[in-house]
Amino acid sequence: MTQPSHADYDNFAWLYNQEWTYFSEHIFPLYKHLAGDCLPVGGRVLDLCCGTGQLARILMENGYKVTGLDISAGQLRYARENAPKARFIKADARSFTLKQKFNAVFCTFDALNHIMTIEDLTNVFKSVCACMSEGGIFVFDMITRKEFETNFLGHQEIKEKPGYFYTLRIEYEPEKRLGKFNCTLFRQYGKSWRRSDTVIPETFYTEAQVRAALKKAGITKIFTCAADPQNGIYPVDKNTRRIFYFARKA
């Protein structure tokens, strides 16, 4: 399975900044709850795979010292506009090194499902572990096979808004554990329109695989849960579509 490149995300950055900013606003209270007392007031937070900076902005507004990291220069351009007081770094989640130590690392909106092999996912976890302070925490979410089987099969949508419209089609190949987001954007520039096409793959891992990769990276204290607005926080089961992981460095 081919790892998406920075160019894929650069191409997608403008539309992402327009259409997919809601998740951070909805998810921040849960992440803060999971972090609990492990994240001190004014603590240092790394927003891993920060995208266009919506979570970084919310973290800054809540008094945290924030560094955002992403592979896409296009995404980071919008992140710096959305959270101008945060620090942003262009780097690969699979191989970054930072001198600063963080009280918490957050990675949201199934960003780690874009890491296409378990070896690369383990390398992400090793990089995270290396930049966490003693007792630091890593909170992230990943979608499951159930989500792929439920929402990826045959999903199509078309949206039109002033100055742009786009189509989104999601494909799922079960035998490869591969989902593909196929997005075509038409954006107006004066009297003309420009088209851009983006394909971004995702995969999934079992909870056991993720736990094993975390432990291999040196992060051994792991808690998982499911959550939604109706039921709050509850145990993971076979129907869970998104797993939230809380991992703490010993």
Q: How far apart are CA 96 and CA 130, in angstroms?
A: 9
Q: What is the pLDDT of residue 7?
A: 75
Q: What is the pLDDT of residue 6?
A: 73
What is the full DSSP assignment across 112-133? GGG--SHHHHHHHHHHHHHHEE
Superfamily designation of domain 6-143+206-248: Vaccinia Virus protein VP39 (3.40.50.150)
Overall fold of domain 147-202: N-terminal domain of TfIIb (2.20.25)
Q: What is the pLDDT of residue 250?
A: 81
The count of other CB atoms within 10 Å of the CB of residue 178 is 18
The count of other CB atoms within 10 Å of the CB of residue 177 is 15
Alpha-helix runs per DSSP H in 83-201: 118-131, 145-147
Q: In terms of Cα–Cα distance, which of 106, 120, 89 is closest to 32?
A: 106
Q: How far apart are CA 160 and CA 218, in angstroms?
A: 47
Q: Please, which pLDDT band fits residue 147 given cuts at 50, 70 and 90?
A: very high
Q: Please, which pLDDT band fits residue 77 given cuts at 50, 70 and 90?
A: very high
Q: What is the pLDDT of residue 230?
A: 84
Q: Please, which pLDDT band fits residue 1 given cuts at 50, 70 and 90?
A: low
CA distances from 104 to 40, 46, 57, 210 (A): 9, 6, 16, 18
Q: Please, which pLDDT band fits residue 154 given cuts at 50, 70 and 90?
A: confident
pLDDT over 80 at 45, yes or no: yes
Q: What would the pLDDT profile of 229-248 be if each residue is shown by its tens digit?
A: 888 999 999 999 999 999 99
User: Which percentage of the chain shows pLDDT scores above 70?
Assistant: 99
User: Which percentage of the chain shows pLDDT scores above 90?
Assistant: 89
C-beta separation of 199 from 185 below 8 A: no
Structural domain boundaries of the chain? 6-143+206-248, 147-202
Q: What is the pLDDT of residue 75?
A: 97
Q: Please, which pLDDT band fits residue 15 given cuts at 50, 70 and 90?
A: very high
Mean pLDDT calculated for residue range 161-175 = 96
Q: What would the pLDDT profile of 84-119 be if each residue is shown by its tens digit?
A: 999 999 999 999 999 999 999 999 999 999 999 999
pLDDT over 70 at 204, yes or no: yes
